[in-house]
Amino acid sequence: MNRLTQAMAPGRAVRPAKVLQFGEGNFLRAFVDWQIDIMNKKTGFNGNVVIVQPLPAGLAEALNEQDGLYTVYLEGMKEGRPVREHSLIESVARGINPYSEYEAYAKLAENPDLRFIISNTTEAGIAFAPADRLEDQPQSSYPGKLTALLHRRYQYFGGDRSKGFIIIPCELIDRNGDELKAIVLKYAELWNLGADFVNWLHEANTFCCSLVDRIVPGYPKERIGEITEELGYEDRFVVVGEQFHLWVIEGPQWIKEEFPAELAGLQVLVVDDMTPYRTRKVRILNGAHTALTPVAYLYGLDTVGESVDHPVVGKFVESLIYDEIIPTLELPKEELQSFAAAVLERFRNPFVRHYLMSIALNSVSKFKTRDLPTLLTYSKEQGKLPRKLTFAFAALLAFYKGKRGGEPIELADDRDVLDQFAALWRVCDGSREAVRRLVAEVLASKERWGMDLNEVNGLAGQLAEDLYHIESAGMVRALEDLLGASAGAEQ
């Protein structure tokens, strides 16, 4: 079987390098480079990507052996049916390892066609390394490398304001563009690069915050033989992703003229404020995952897919999203419902077995971040508790007992969380009074929740009742009773 190279893409167009990308990992190749490939084929973007390997050990050389070509497999629900499709990505011109070919990397700053800088160097990548120096070849940190590259471009083009970049980090940290710019400015000060350079940074460059959303399992090791047979060539960089994709970029609207993703039919939003979209993702997608996990697992289910398809558990999670989470969010209702429908479709992806226990890691802190704001907002605005979410909270407390029927649950959380729950459940005899004491103790931790949750009107009492019902009747009966009572209340 022949390896994938340029010879297998004879009609590949030669395009100028417009995008400099820090990071050669699966996510960027299945998300950003895939989108640029589509823009090249459907619009006049006409630009390729040069990938910079951000660490000494990386994949630039191996990627170059395939002439930057690789295959993206998209698997998931599309227009209501399961679809598996693949495409050859031709948008990557080459990879560069700045640790072994520094001058080739540095000369990228002199390319007048370069306009975009995109990165995903992991959450730890956007960090300040005080030992970095301008003369290093290269600097150890990504922001250090970027600052040196920007300074060389500034010098080469004599401070030309038209030669700045649109810089879009994809690292999963809040306000990633702001954080990256702050560190670049910190290096400019540390290295004494001058006020004129700092002004050029501000005036010629646009640092955008962004939010990315696509599940990318990566290289399909377990079935690469089957995929290779289907493709008819050997591809060391095959990457699998889900059908859904969303990229929210906070920046000026003129970016859409230079980056015509929307024109190509891609789900890329350029917005003035990405906060509502980040909140939407955290509350609906992540919040539903976290609330669903203890309920579904104690019900006897193991994966997200079987949970949302289950007649009882599926009804619970849909009601949780549409009746309790969405009413607390600020975006238009139609937009939120459309996003929720896409989330549920993603949860049903038949090609991915997303295990509930893989979501259960650090569930207490996740509940605080993803679900507690919804609970508090709903309670304040509606004047009553969100019943599905309160029940999920009770299920979380039951989950941290560490047992599903007769089998132990391998809890994974901070030691202080595990120790507290172990101690509380050890002395709980299952009586209503004992359960109330356990709930009150858990809710009282200001350090854990940011406030004493016993002060939330009715929460402690309802949690205690739900937890007692789960413990005494079992999750199956408790959940069915909850949904029956909810249906009766709606009539």
**201 marked as part of a ligand binding site:** no
- The residues with which 408 forms a beta bridge, in sequence order, are 403
Using the Cα atoms of residue 293, residue 298, residue 303 and residue 304 in order, give the sign of their dihedral.
Answer: negative
Query: Torsions phi, psi of 210, nearest 5?
Result: -145, 160
Q: What pairing do the DSSP bridges indicate for beta strands 70-78 and 239-242?
A: parallel
- Any binding-site annotation on 27? yes
30 is in an annotated binding site: yes
20 marked among binding-site residues: yes
- Rama region for 2: left / alpha / beta (φ>0; ψ in -120 to 50; rest): beta
Cα–Cα distance, 44 to 133 (Å, whole number): 39
Amino acid at 455: E
In one letter, which amino acid is 151? H
129 is in an annotated binding site: no
Alpha carbon 167 to chain centroid, angstroms:
19
Q: Is 22 annotated as a binding residue?
A: yes
**Burial class of 158 by CB neighbour count within 10 A (0 to 12, 13 to 18, 19+):** exposed
Q: Which of 155, 205, 156, 160 is nearest to 184 (CA)?
A: 205
Beta bridge partners of 17: 48
Q: Is 371 helix (H, G, I), strand (E, B) or coil?
A: coil
What tokens appear for 94 in the block? 């080459």
How far apart (Å, rounded) are the C-alpha atoms in residues 135 and 107? 15
Counted residue by residue, the chain has a size of 491
Reply yes or no: is the peptide bond before residue 138 cis, omega within 30 of 0: yes
**28 is annotated as contributing to ligand binding:** yes
Largest CA distance in the chain: 77
Q: Encoding tokens for residue 277?
A: 């979209």
Distances (CA, A) of 365 to 248, 369, 439: 25, 6, 17
| 344 labelled ligand-binding | no
Q: Which residues are annotated as a binding site?
A: 19-30
Q: Enumerate the known binding-site residues for NAD(+).
A: 19-30
